[in-house]
């Protein structure tokens, strides 16, 4: 370990964090395009790949890439923890004045980093890539994405800049702010917006995936969307107060009406259908609101367990481990080898 520490690429000007999950065919393509850009524009740099529990040859490729160029380092998780957590781990291991986050599949063109760095040198601390279109996504996914962002802008408590995603450059002050956030349910897009700092968008065109297919199933995307909405809005919790109030007022009016009706016309037996309908309706509303409570309580449960955010199985090229920095709880509770 000491030897490894001695050769670890210490503090660089730029670090690039790349989450990878079954990307064996893309890594070398990415490195071939990324390194020339960084050599041209950065004074010094290193790349931190975060292998998110890949089951293909990704880890072997990362070892090979590191053997060829020591500036390529990697952290490998013990299993798949998801892209958001992989990004968090990358930020924990990137020791640089500014950190670029990008996908491994070349959908984020490395050449755009030059513009990111230029903006950063002008003094911006949160430089985000803004996709000019979503042509690379399927129409169904585009539709869901649009619905999600509409909902988020309606209910979310943090406005998200249009078209901004994970492809971005963060000054080390912004990186420290993100590293200080202990939450397990990490909706990065919301977190980037929440931390603030002087930000600016750089438009870019999303390219087609170089090899393989998207690692996000609709199931994963749904979870992600729910995480996003629920960690940035308490409206789903509060809305039941209003629904309950409206239904109670309505029920009270009905009661008064029925009392009046009974007094004027006497007892009336029919009304079976309306009884069943109102019981079912109220039952449905109650189950729905319990479900919403359950979603939030489940998330609270996940947070209070205070499990480490991720477990490291292997480090390649000993990327800086900033876990010992005088930083907040998540850092202290982190584990690894
Ligand atoms: N990724 C990851 N963990 C996952 C899913 C994806 O680290 O569980 C990585 C993936 O290897 C890629 C990036 O996140 O580098 C974006 O994934 P993908 O291209 O599949 O997403 P899309 O472009 O469809 O949004
Ligand atoms: Mg992609």
**Dist. CA 54–CA 233, nearest whole Å:** 33
* pLDDT computed for residue 251 by the predictor: 80
Rounded to the nearest angstrom, the distance between the alpha carbon of 262 and the centre of ligand 1 is 65
Ligand 1 nearest-atom number relative to CA 23:
11
**C-beta atoms surrounding 203 within 10 Å:** 11
Rounded to the nearest angstrom, the distance between the alpha carbon of 20 and the centre of ligand 1 is 7
Ligand 1 contact, 215 CB (< 6 A): yes
Q: How far is CA 157 from the centre of its chain?
A: 16
Which ligand minimizes its atom distance to the CA of 21? 1
Which of 83, 166, 220 to probe ligand 1 with, by most ligand atoms within 8 A of CB?
83
Rounded to the nearest angstrom, the distance between the alpha carbon of 72 and the centre of ligand 2 is 21
Rounded to the nearest angstrom, the distance between the alpha carbon of 204 and the centre of ligand 2 is 14
Q: How does pLDDT run along the chain (337 residues), one tens digit per residue?
A: 444 444 445 588 999 999 999 999 999 999 999 999 999 999 899 999 999 999 999 999 999 999 898 889 999 999 999 899 999 999 988 888 999 999 999 889 999 999 999 999 999 999 999 888 777 778 888 888 888 888 888 777 778 887 788 899 999 999 988 888 878 777 888 888 888 888 888 988 888 887 778 877 778 888 888 888 777 777 777 777 778 788 878 888 888 888 888 888 877 676 766 787 788 778 877 877 887 888 788 778 878 877 788 888 888 886 666 654 444 444 444 444 3
* pLDDT computed for residue 9 by the predictor: 52
* pLDDT computed for residue 268 by the predictor: 66
**Dist. CA 129–CA 151, nearest whole Å:** 22
**C-beta atoms surrounding 206 within 10 Å:** 20
Rounded to the nearest angstrom, the distance between the alpha carbon of 11 and the centre of ligand 2 is 29
First to last CA, the chain: 10
* pLDDT computed for residue 117 by the predictor: 95
**Dist. CA 20–CA 73, nearest whole Å:** 13
* pLDDT computed for residue 321 by the predictor: 63
CB-based contact 156:229 (threshold 8 Å)? yes
* pLDDT computed for residue 190 by the predictor: 83
* pLDDT computed for residue 254 by the predictor: 83
* Residue 312 three-state SS: strand
CB-based contact 90:17 (threshold 8 Å)? yes
Ligand 1 contact, 23 CB (< 6 A): yes
* pLDDT computed for residue 75 by the predictor: 92
Which of 105, 209, 212 to probe ligand 1 with, by most ligand atoms within 8 A of CB?
105
**pTM of structure:** 0.73
* Residue 44 three-state SS: coil
* Residue 167 three-state SS: strand
Considering only CA atoms, which residue is closest to atom 21 of ligand 1? 214
Is the C-alpha dihedral spanning 17, 73, 8, 90 positive or negative? Answer: positive
Ligand 1 nearest-atom number relative to CA 18:
15
Q: Checking DSSP bridges between strand 126-131 and strand 164-171, what pairing results, if any?
A: antiparallel
């Amino acid at each position: 370990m000491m030897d490894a520490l001695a050769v670890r690429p210490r503090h660089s000007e730029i670090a690039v964090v790349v989450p990878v999950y079954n990307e064996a065919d893309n890594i070398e393509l990415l490195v071939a395009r990324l390194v020339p850009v960084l050599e041209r524009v950065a004074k010094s740099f290193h790349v931190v790949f975060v292998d998110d529990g890949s089951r293909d040859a990704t880890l072997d490729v990362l070892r090979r890439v590191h053997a060829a160029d020591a500036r390529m380092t990697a952290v490998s998780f013990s299993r798949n923890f998801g892209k958001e957590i992989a990004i968090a781990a990358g930020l924990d291991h990137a020791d640089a004045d500014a950190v670029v986050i990008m996908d491994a599949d070349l959908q984020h063109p490395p050449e755009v980093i030059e513009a990111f760095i230029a903006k950063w040198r002008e003094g911006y601390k949160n430089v985000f890539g803004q996709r000019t279109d979503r042509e690379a996504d399927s129409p169904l996914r585009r539709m869901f994405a649009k619905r999600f962002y509409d909902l988020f802008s309606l209910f979310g408590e943090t406005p998200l800049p249009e078209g901004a995603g994970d492809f971005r450059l963060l000054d080390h002050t912004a990186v420290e702010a993100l590293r200080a956030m202990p939450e397990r349910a990490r909706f990065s897009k919301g977190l980037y917006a929440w931390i603030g700092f002087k930000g600016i968008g750089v438009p870019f065109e999303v390219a087609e995936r170089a090899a393989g297919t998207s690692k996000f199933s609709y199931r994963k995307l749904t979870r992600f969307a729910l995480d996003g909405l629920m960690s940035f809005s308490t409206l789903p919790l509060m809305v039941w107060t209003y629904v309950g109030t409206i239904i109670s007022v309505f029920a009270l009016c009905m009661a008064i009406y029925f009392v009046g009706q009974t007094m004027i016309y006497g007892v009336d037996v029919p009304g079976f259908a309306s009884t069943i309908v109102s019981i079912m309706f109220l039952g449905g509303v109650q189950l729905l609101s319990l479900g919403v409570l359950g979603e939030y309580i489940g998330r609270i449960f996940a947070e209070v367990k205070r499990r480490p955010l991720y477990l490291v199985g292997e480090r390649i090229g000993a990327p800086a481990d900033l876990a010992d920095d005088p930083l907040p709880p998540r850092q202290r509770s982190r584990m690894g080898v």
